[in-house]
Structure 1
Amino acid sequence: MKTAAVMKSALLHVLLPFLLCVALANTSLFDEVKVDLSYAHYAEPRVDYLPTLLAMPCNCLVNLAYVCLGLYWLLRHGGGKETEQSRYLRQVFAFMAVFYAPVQWTRLAVLRRAPAVLDQWFTLPIFAWVPVWIRFIEHGPAKWRASHAAAVELLSLSSYGLALAHERGFEVALGCHVGLAVYRGVRLQFARGDGRTRGYLLLAMLSCAGFVVLKLLDHWLARFQLFQRFTGHFWSKVCDVLQFHFSFCFLSTLTHRVRGKTAAQLE
C-alpha cells in the first residue's frame, strides 16, 4: 500500500465515525447530558467587539496548536523502519488532533449542546488510541489486527453512554480512559523503554496532569493577574497539546526501536 493510500485509509477511519457522532449529537439523544453552555463557565473575559469565533481570543486561538501538531505528525517522514501499519497508527492519531480542534472552537463560538457533547465525546477515543498503538508495539505487525483497533474505538465511543446514566458519567469514562492509557504506557516503558522514552512518558503524564488540574482551577487561578487573560483553561489546552506531542514521541520512538530489533533478528 502506498503512502497516499495509507493516509486516505487513516482519514476515512477517523472521518466516518466523526460524521456519525456529529449526526447523533445533533439529535435529542444527548439532551439530558450535563454540559456547560455559558461564557460564565470560562474565566477568560469575553471581548464583545470581536466576532463570535474570537469572543474569547486566547481560548479560541489555542485550538490552532492542535491543527499544527496534527499536521506535523501527519506529514512527518517516518523513515525506512516505518511499516504501513505503524504509519497508519500515527496518521490516525494525527487526524484525531486535527479534527478535535474545530470541535472545541465551535463549542466556544456558539455555546450549543451538540458541539459541547462532541467536545467531551471525542476526548475518549483519542485516549483509547494510546492502548491500541501500544498493543501494536507489544505484539508486532504480524499479530496486530485493525479489527481489534476498531473494536476498542467502538467500545470507547459507546462508553460515553455513561454520561446519559449519571451527570458525572463522562468524568468516570474519561478517568478510566486516562488510567488505562497511563497504565499501559508505564507497563510498556518497564518492558521495552530506556531513559529517552522514560522522559517522553513522564512529560506526557505531567502534561496530562496539567491538562486536568489547570482546567479545574480555571476560575480560582483567575484571581491572579498572570491568569486573567491567559487563563487556566488556556494553559490546560497548551498542556493537552503537549501531552499529544509527547505521546507521539513516546509511541513513535518505541515503535521504531521494536521494529529495528525485529528486523535485526530476521537478518
Structure 2
Amino acid sequence: MKSALLHVSVPFVLCVAWANTSLFDGVQVDLSSEHYAEQRVAGLPGFLAMPCNCLVNLAYSCMGLYWLLRPGGGPETSRSRYMREVFALMAVLYGPVQWTRLALLRRAPAVLDQWFTLPIFAWVPVWIGFIERGPAKWSAPHAAAHVLSSILSYGLALVHERGFELTLGCHVALAVYKGVRVQLAHGDSRTRRYLVLAVLSCAGFVVLKLLDHCLARYRLFQRLTGHFWSKVCDVMQFHFSFCFLSALPRSAARRAQE
C-alpha cells in the first residue's frame, strides 16, 4: 500500500500545486452555484450550502476505502493488489476534491476536479493491460507513461473551451473499448454483467449531469437533483469497474484451463 499511496499522492500534490497557479486561468470551468439545479440552503455553512450535492461525495471515499481495505478475492499477488489499491486511493481522494469545488466555487478546485478525472479513467486500461499480459510481461514504465500522458492531455483544455470534454470522451471511449475487448477474450457471464452495469452507470452519470436543470422542473428532482443522481451513478461506475477488473483474472484462469 505504501507504493500505491506514494504513486497516487505525489502526482496529486503536484496537480494541486499547478492548479493553484495562473497556468489554468484560461480553462473554461463553472464557478457559480447557478450551474447546479440544487438550491442553496440559507444558514448552512458553505461546505453544506448544497447539502445533497455535497454529502454525496462521501460515497466516493467510502467506496474507495471499502475496496482499499477489502481482502482480495482468491489468490492475489502483490502487483495485482497494487492495481486495486491505486484505483481505490484515487476514489478516496476524488470525493474531497469534488466537495471542495462545491464548497469554494473557485477556479483551482474546479480545475482539479476535471483534471483528476482523466488519470482515473486512464487507470482502467492500465489495469486491463496488466490482466491481459500478466505480471511477467506487464511493463511498469509503460503504465506510468500512459498515466502521465493522461495527466498532460488536460492541456487540451488550455487551447479549446471544449478541450476537457473532448479529452474525457477519448478516455471513456478507450476504457470501454479495452473493457469490451478483454471481456470477449477472458470474461464470463459474471464479468459481462459487471461490464454492462459499469457502462450503464457511466451513461447515467453523463446524461443526468447534462439534464440537471431540465429535470429540476419535476418535483422528484428538485432536492435530489440530476447532478446528485449523476454522482450516485459515478460511484456505481467506480464500484462495478472494481467488480469487473477484480473478477477478470479468475475468469481468465478458468477459461485457460478449459
TM-score range relative to shorter protein: over 0.9
Which residue of the other structure, out of 65, 72, 90, is the alignment partner of 1:71? 65
Cα shift readout 1:113-153 (whole Å, capped 9, x = no counterpart): 00000000000000000000000110001011221111111
- Identify the residue that residue 216 of structure 1 maps to in structure 2: 210
Q: Does 1:82 align with 2:70?
A: no
1:14–1:92 CA contact under 8 A, matched in 2: yes
Cα shift readout 1:16-57 (whole Å, capped 9, x = no counterpart): 000000000000000000000000000000012111110100
Which residue of the other structure, out of 5, 10, 16, is the alignment partner of 1:22? 16
- Identify the residue that residue 35 of structure 1 maps to in structure 2: 29
Task: Give SS of 1:138's match.
Answer: helix
Between the aligned partners of 1:255 and 1:163, the Cα distance in structure 2 is 36
2:202–2:237 CA contact under 8 A, matched in 1: yes
1:11–1:92 CA contact under 8 A, matched in 2: yes
- Identify the residue that residue 193 of structure 2 maps to in structure 1: 199
Between the aligned partners of 1:100 and 1:251, the Cα distance in structure 2 is 20
Between the aligned partners of 1:139 and 1:189, the Cα distance in structure 2 is 14
Q: Look up the equivalent residue of 2:148 and give its one-letter code.
A: L
Q: Does 1:230 align with 2:230?
A: no
- 1:134-173 matches, within 5 Å, as 134-173=128-167
1:25–1:118 CA contact under 8 A, matched in 2: yes
Q: Look up the equivalent residue of 2:239 and give its one-letter code.
A: H
Task: Give SS of 1:131's match.
Answer: helix
Aligned length: 258
Task: Give SS of 2:22's match.
Answer: coil
Q: CA deviation at 1:259?
A: 5.3
Normalised to the residue count of structure 2, the TM-score between the two structures is 0.97
Q: Look up the equivalent residue of 2:248 and give its one-letter code.
A: L
Which residue of the other structure, out of 121, 131, 138, is the alignment partner of 1:127? 121
Q: Which runs of 4+ in 1 moved over 4 A?
A: 259-262
1:81–1:260 CA contact under 8 A, matched in 2: no
Q: CA deviation at 1:257?
A: 3.4
Task: Give SS of 2:137's match.
Answer: coil
Q: Look up the equivalent residue of 1:107 and give its one-letter code.
A: R
2:188–2:251 CA contact under 8 A, matched in 1: no
Task: Give SS of 1:36's match.
Answer: coil
- Identify the residue that residue 3 of structure 1 maps to in structure 2: none
Q: CA deviation at 1:260?
A: 6.7
2:186–2:255 CA contact under 8 A, matched in 1: no
Which residue of the other structure, out of 41, 47, 50, is the alignment partner of 1:47? 41
Note closer, same or farther for the CA distance 1:9–1:259 as it changes in structure 2 (3 Å cut).
Answer: farther
Between the aligned partners of 2:97 and 2:220, the Cα distance in structure 1 is 27
Name whichever of 159-168 and 72-81 sits farther off: 72-81
Cα shift readout 1:165-184 (whole Å, capped 9, x = no counterpart): 10000000000000000000
- 1:168-183 matches, within 5 Å, as 168-183=162-177
Between the aligned partners of 2:83 and 2:250, the Cα distance in structure 1 is 13
Q: CA deviation at 1:255?
A: 2.3
Between the aligned partners of 2:248 and 2:119, the Cα distance in structure 1 is 21
Between the aligned partners of 2:237 and 2:73, the Cα distance in structure 1 is 23
Q: Look up the equivalent residue of 2:23 and give its one-letter code.
A: L
Q: Look up the equivalent residue of 2:179 and give its one-letter code.
A: G
Q: CA deviation at 1:81?
A: 1.4
1:82–1:256 CA contact under 8 A, matched in 2: no
2:187–2:252 CA contact under 8 A, matched in 1: no
Between the aligned partners of 2:252 and 2:66, the Cα distance in structure 1 is 23
Task: Tell me the C-alpha RMSD between the 2 structures.
Answer: 1.3
Between the aligned partners of 2:55 and 2:66, the Cα distance in structure 1 is 18
Q: CA deviation at 1:90?
A: 0.2
